[in-house]
Structure 1
Amino acid sequence: MNFRILNYFLTVAHEKNITKAAEILHITQPTLSRQLMQLETALGVKLFDRDKHKFALTPSGQFLVERAREILNMVEKTTLDIQEQEHNLAGSIAMGAGEYQATEVLAKLIGGFQKQYAAVSFELFTSSSDLLHDKLDKGLLDVAILQAPVDTTNYDYLRLPIRETWCVLMRSDAPLASKNAITASDLSGLPIILPARLQARSEIFNWLSGDIAKMRFIGNSNLLANTAVFVEQCGYYGISVQMPLLDEKRFTYRPLTPALHSDILLVWRRDRQQSLALQKFLQFAKCFLSIEQAPI
């Protein structure tokens, strides 16, 4: 028994004529007759006394009319309740993000989601990938965008359509600013600030390869904003992914050559109970990112 057949049954019971009921339901009379016979077979009772002119309800049919109305009314109410819950979805999503160009994609994602669910708010926490990862583990964040490589053993993730490009951050008047791209040998002997994250430093060390002994490493920094202060005040060079919104009159980026890139992942705990707001956001993100990544 399904809701559609119950609706067929109620229509015939109301019209007391299978031909008229079939017209109202926009199906053929033989199809409707077959559906009613299948319902009677499934229930093991006769629902109608049939003659050439009308269908009269049996006692079992009269009982089913009342129950069928209750069932379909409940289905309609439940459907409306679910739709209202969707429309009035509210809550807060704790989200972490690093200082990435990919944050622009995150902003578009959140903006699109809030057009549908305006009552859902976001708490955005900015830090390094390692600290964001730790907060995800502790349940302090619901979701975060992290720079690969990332241990995803206990996580589900979506890959963002933008890859971060590793560059050298320098003052606009720095000697290397005249170059289109920076090689490892260009950095020989210059004061360099590296990212604090161990996995990121490992990738940079691999890129430096045989020139690593010639490097002058000043220190590490976990935030590009702080790196930029030392670049401007001390004339240091920072190896980092390109940070948006820096003043181009004071700073410039030059990409590494050969090029070095990193993927950015939208990550969440696989085993964590999710709020309805988070469930809807992740569903929206999967759809949104599939469109963003689709070939033109």
Structure 2
Amino acid sequence: MELRQLQYFIAVAEELNFSRAAERVKITQPPLSLQIQNLEKELDIVLFYRNKRQVKLTDAGKLFYTEVCKIFNHLERAVEDAKRTQHGEIGTIRVGFVGSATYDILPSILREFRNLYSEVEVHLFEMSTPMQLEALREGEIDIGVLRPPVNDEIVHTEIVSTVPCVLAVPKQHPLLKIKNVSLSDLKTYPFVMLSRKTWSNLYDEILGLCNPIIQQEALEFQTVIGLVAAKLGIAVVPQSAVNLHTQDVVYLDLDDQLPVASMGIAWRQKDQSPLVQSFIQLARETCLF
């Protein structure tokens, strides 16, 4: 049985006239009649009552017509869905992200992505940068939102956001009495540091700048700032985190003396998925503003 035969059958079933059906499917009447006969023979079913004056569907033909129409409707949907998948309009995308991305670029990217691709399922996974790189290499996620730099032959990373860092200080801390705080003023005070496992580049930059006394380390900036609020120490954090613990923490701008905090998106270099490419382009456009 061929798809073409089913198309011929539908034409005859709807026209109930072989001449009109032949014109509709753009063949002559004898080949059309032969195709219907071959279909009936293959199925061992009489689909039509025919005589010189009329053509009628048998009861079996009526049932067969109903089911064949369902097949063609399903096929049309399948073709449409395949086209939309190819254009990145439907499907699933898996996104890994560092925790600090939730108060940085991630919410705005996801909001715009859902507005434009409402039928795409977005699966989110909170992971450290090293975990995201491993998941990308293993094909467990499609996009990473992470902290550069990244040196990897399989994974490509692009910086989409850069913000200055600020100094998080608990309220009533002695540093708040100094008019213009400099790096040299920090050396005698304990620090709460974001773990090197989470962001090695920032950790090393802070060590190089002021050789801090490290009182405590934490895996996420939210925890770091919470510990600053608890007066365990001071901390260097991205400016995007300044809305955390504002009742207990003061954020100081040290006039470009502190590092900058970059956020990047990462993907497998050979991944040409339309959904992945759409997410990348949207991240670029969203982070420009």
Question: Counterpart of 1:93 in structure 2: which amino acid?
Answer: R
Q: Does 1:172 align with 2:167?
A: no
Name 1:216's counterpart in structure 2: 213
Report the CA distance shift for 1:199/1:229 in structure 2 as closer, same or farther (over 3 A): same
Sort the Cα spacing of 1:245 and 1:154 in 2 relative to 1 into closer, same or farther, 3 A.
Answer: same
Computed over aligned residues only, the root mean square deviation of the Cα atoms, in angstroms, reads 3.2
Point out where structure 1 has 5 or more consecutive residues left out of the alignment.
Answer: 1-64, 67-76
Cα 1:138/1:169, change in 2 over 3 Å: farther
Distance 1:81 1:140 in 2: 24
Partner Cα separation in structure 2 for residue 179 and residue 171 of structure 1: 14
- What is the Cα deviation at residue 290 of structure 1? 4.3
User: Following TM superposition, by how much is the alpha carbon of 1:236 offset from its aligned partner in structure 2, in angstroms?
Assistant: 1.1
**Alignment-mate amino acid for residue 119 of structure 1:** E
Between the aligned partners of 1:250 and 1:109, the Cα distance in structure 2 is: 30
Q: Structure 1 residue 189: deviation in Å? A: 1.5
Q: With structure 1 as the length reference, what TM-score do the two structures score?
A: 0.59
List runs of 5+ in structure 2 lacking aligned partners: 1-25, 28-75
Contact 1:113 1:281 in 2 (8 A): no
Residue 168 of structure 1: how far off its partner (Å): 1.9
CA 1:139–1:175: 2 relative to 1, 3 Å: farther
2:57 aligned residue: none
The answer on 1:230 being equivalent to 2:227 is yes
Counterparts of 1:245 and 1:132, CA distance in 2: 26
On the 8 A contact 1:127/1:223 being kept in 2, the answer is: no
Q: What are the Cα deviations for residues 214-244 of structure 1, in whole angstroms up to 9, with x where unaligned?
A: x322132221122223222234112232325
Give yes or no for contact 1:159–1:265 (8 Å, CA) kept in 2.
yes
Once the two structures are overlaid, the 10-residue window that deviates more, 279-288 or 185-194, is 279-288
Question: What is residue 8 of structure 1 aligned with on the other side?
Answer: none
Contact preservation (8 Å) 1:172, 1:248: no
Q: 1:281 to 1:107 in 2, by over 3 A?
A: farther
User: What one-letter code is carried by the residue in structure 2 that aligns with 1:202?
Assistant: D
Q: Which amino acid aligns with 1:251?
A: V
Kindly tell me: are residues 149 and 180 of structure 1, through their superposed partners in 2, closer, same or farther at Cα, counting changes over 3 Å?
farther
Shift, 1:156, TM fit: 2.0
What are the equivalent positions in structure 2 for 1:124-273 lying under 5 Å apart?
A: 124-160=124-160, 162-178=161-177, 182-197=181-196, 198-208=200-210, 212=211, 215-242=212-239, 243=241, 245-256=243-254, 257-271=256-270
- Identical columns (%): 16
Q: CA deviation at 1:192?
A: 0.8
2:288 pairs with 1:286: no
Say which SS state the counterpart of residue 289 (structure 1) adopts.
Answer: helix
SS at match of 1:219: strand
What secondary structure is seen at the aligned counterpart in 1 of 2:108? helix
Contact 1:181 1:255 in 2 (8 A): no
> What's the secondary structure of 1:148's corresponding residue?
coil
Residues 152-180 of structure 1, C-alpha deviations (whole Å, 9 max, x = no match): 432223321x3132222222332223557
Q: Which amino acid in the other structure matches residue 194 of structure 1?
A: M
Cα offset, 1:82, TM superposition: 5.0
Q: Which amino acid aligns with 1:140?
A: E
TM-score, normalised to structure 2, is 0.60
CA distance, structure 1, for counterparts of residue 201 and residue 269 of structure 2: 23
1:267 positional shift: 0.5
Cα displacement (A) at 1:81: 5.7
